[in-house]
Amino acid sequence: MEILTQKQIDELAEKYPLDSQKDKGLDAVVCCKLLFPDRRNNPEGYWYITGCSRVDDDVIFSGLCTTSGPMGANRIAPVYFRLSGLNEITSRDKVIEMDKDFKPATVRVLGDVEAPLKSYVRVESEKERRAAIWASRQDVADTIAGLFLGLDSEKGTASRTIAEELTNDVCNDMASNRKERGPAILRVIARRLGIRNNIINKF
């Protein structure tokens, strides 16, 4: 029995060519889900396909797959895999099927409904949040500099120096605490000045 028909493969390859969603991260659309029907005895048996293309006499898929980690723990990771590899698994008296009830959706959305994806989406979302904070580093520096009276005078030059000194601390503080810029700036400045009081501690 075929895991995917030739028609299904051609339709997936036309709409989602291999690597066409490579840079989309959690916003990549999972177009197809494969699984072991007896998932209780095969906890690694999930394949979430985000793209595929025919290569020579084979089909290469990209997507997310459950893999076995240390101490037998299962985790999900981005992978490439071949149709020939899946067929080899089925030749060992294991069955892989397409989930006919699966509805295509982004990885981010599926993190709320697909148990194997939940921890992966949580970790990747946190990476996105931290990356966004560091991408805004210049805006953070400008905000801090603005607190020290402008950028065109001698005081402005001094404020830019102070801002550069504080910006990395503020970005680290936003990443490890709240993402809001204002409270993070107040916390960092307060720490630098040795200020400790109940108002500052609320941020």
- The pair of structure tokens assigned to 124 is 């990747």
Domain residue ranges in the chain: 6-123, 136-201
Instruction: Identify the band that residue 199 occupies on the pLDDT scale cut at 50, 70 and 90.
Output: very low
Residue 150 phi/psi, 5° resolution? 80, 175
Nearest to 98 by CA among 52, 7, 18, 36: 36
pLDDT over 50 (residue 72): no
Nearest to 181 by CA among 122, 126, 127, 135: 135
Q: pTM score > 0.95 for this model?
A: no
Q: Could you report the per-residue pLDDT of 38-67, keeping only the tens digit for each? A: 665 555 688 999 999 999 999 999 999 986
- The pair of structure tokens assigned to 90 is 């089925």
Mean pLDDT of the region 132-150: 81
Rg of the Cα atoms in the chain: 25
Predicted pLDDT at 203 = 44
Best mean pLDDT range from 90-99, 110-119, 191-200: 110-119
